């Protein structure tokens, strides 16, 4: 909501409160107030917010009430004469004691909430979240499930330069992913955040969780979602040109659905491992390669392979993809280019995906080399 719209909304609520009482104004307050979460920690944070909000409201009404009353009833035109006194011990005690009591009233529950926020002990599930430019890597430490979560294809396609597509037509534009994080309801989930490159931040407002992901460090946080559903967040640290391509989506499901999801992920991992040993057709490699490219490469090189002039190189007609040896092309994808934004995808993608994306890049956008790369050719 824009600042102008927010101010108009506040003005309307104030008028409603004056005309029809507080109950009418509060009915529309939720749309501009802090939203309530779905975890015990987020509920505590919301409770603290509301407590402090009412305290400062009462203090504000009291202070401005006295000021307005004094301006009206003690103005010079009414013949008011200022009293001549100073060093009133009683006044000094009052204006010192009242703020002290207010601060203590706020500090006690705030300290309790802070200690609870930091207590990630005895989790039911531990997940390592690693930030990459620009995606999230999730590793379930309890069951071995592992995957990368990238921005969804619809958002990626629409965000491309000169795409001609309207972001308003895309559901959850830049707020959706191809593979969400899945966790069971009513279970304590510990999130261990770190980074592979620059500082990121894992933030899901509905959980009351926001933790920096710093290279070389492990920060921990936790949440216990008490309601099933899909909850969205994003990287909250400016991490580079693709900062907007790092949404976070968490699906909270029942215990049975979570167990079924874990089983499905393990089966797919086994199938991917088995696929590395077979010979793939060119058509299948191109289809899979396009999916991998759009998920991992299009943010920089663009879906049309033209890159961003002066920032990221074009792959359409480049020497690497059209005239360079296949082994050199594979080496760049697997090991990256040190000193540039080109990442090493050898730890991010399996052999099938690397073979597929190299095949796609050498045959897309008019490159048409006819080259086909098999998973057996990929060495990491």
Q: What's residue 200's pLDDT?
A: 97
- Helix, coil or strand: residue 192: strand
- What is the rounded distance in angstroms from the CA atom of residue 172 to the CA atom of residue 190? 26
pTM for this prediction = 0.77
Q: What is the pLDDT of residue 29?
A: 53
The predicted pLDDT at position 35 comes to 85
Question: What are the tens digits of pLDDT across the range 226-241?
Answer: 999 999 999 999 998 8
Q: So what's the pLDDT on residue 358? A: 93
Confidence at residue 356, expressed as pLDDT on a 0 to 100 scale: 92
Kindly state the helix (H) or strand (E) to which residue 201 belongs, with its residue range. strand 200-204
Class at the top of the CATH hierarchy for domain 277-377: mainly alpha
Per-residue pLDDT, 214 = 96
Instruction: Output phi, psi for 195, to 5 deg.
Output: -140, 150
Q: How many CB atoms lie within 10 A of CB 70?
A: 11
Q: Tell me how crowded residue 329 is: count the other CB atoms within 10 A of its CB.
A: 23
Look at residue 296 in the predicted model and tell me its pLDDT.
86
The CATH homologous superfamily to which domain 125-273 belongs is Cupredoxins -  blue copper proteins (2.60.40.420)
DSSP designation for 237: S
Return the SS3 of 148: strand
β 209-213/181-184 pair status = unpaired
Q: Give the model's pLDDT for residue 346.
A: 87
E strand residue ranges, 10-123: none
Phi/psi class of residue 169: alpha, beta or left (left: φ > 0; alpha: ψ in -120 to 50)? alpha
Burial class of 67 by CB neighbour count within 10 A (0 to 12, 13 to 18, 19+): exposed
Instruction: Extract the residue ranges of the chain whose pLDDT is less than 50.
Output: 1-3, 6-7, 10, 13-27
CB 235 within 8 A of CB 243: yes
Q: In 10 A of CB 223, how many CB atoms? A: 28
């Amino acid at each position: 909501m824009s600042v102008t719209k927010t101010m108009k909304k506040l003005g309307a609520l104030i008028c409603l409160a004056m005309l029809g009482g507080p109950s009418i104004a509060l009915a529309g307050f939720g749309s501009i107030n802090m939203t309530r979460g779905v975890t015990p920690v987020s509920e505590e944070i919301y409770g603290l917010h509301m407590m402090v909000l009412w305290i400062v409201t009462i203090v504000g009404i009291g202070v401005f009430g006295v000021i307005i009353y004094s301006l009206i009833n003690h103005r010079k035109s009414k013949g008011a004469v200022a009293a001549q006194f100073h060093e009133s011990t009683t006044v000094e005690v009052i204006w010192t004691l009242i703020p002290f009591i207010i601060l203590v009233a706020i500090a006690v529950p705030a300290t309790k909430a802070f200690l609870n926020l930091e207590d990630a002990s005895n989790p039911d599930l531990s997940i390592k979240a690693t930030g990459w430019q620009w995606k999230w890597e999730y590793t379930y430490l309890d069951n071995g499930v592992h995957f990368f979560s990238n921005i969804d294809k619809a958002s990626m396609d629409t965000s491309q330069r000169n795409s001609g597509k309207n972001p308003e037509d895309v559901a959850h534009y830049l707020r959706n992913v191809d593979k969400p994080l899945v966790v069971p309801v009513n279970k304590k989930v510990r999130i261990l955040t770190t980074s592979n490159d620059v500082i990121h931040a894992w933030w899901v407002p509905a959980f009351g969780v926001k933790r920096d992901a710093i290279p070389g460090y492990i920060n921990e946080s936790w949440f216990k979602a008490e309601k099933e559903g899909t909850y969205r967040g994003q990287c909250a640290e400016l991490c580079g040109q693709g900062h907007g391509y790092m949404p976070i989506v968490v699906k909270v499901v029942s215990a049975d659905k979570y167990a079924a999801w874990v089983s499905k992920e393990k089966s797919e991992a086994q199938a991917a491992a088995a696929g590395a040993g077979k010979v793939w057709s060119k058509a299948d490699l191109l289809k899979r390669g396009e999916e991998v490219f759009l998920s991992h490469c299009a943010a920089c090189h663009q879906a049309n392979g033209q890159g961003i002039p002066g920032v990221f190189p074009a792959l359409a007609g480049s020497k690497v993809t059209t005239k360079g040896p296949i082994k050199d092309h594979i080496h760049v994808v697997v090991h990256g280019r040190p000193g540039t934004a080109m990442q090493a995808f050898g730890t991010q993608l399996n052999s099938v995906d690397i073979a597929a994306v190299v095949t796609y890049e050498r045959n897309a956008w008019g490159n048409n080399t006819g080259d086909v790369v098999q998973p057996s050719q990929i060495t990491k």
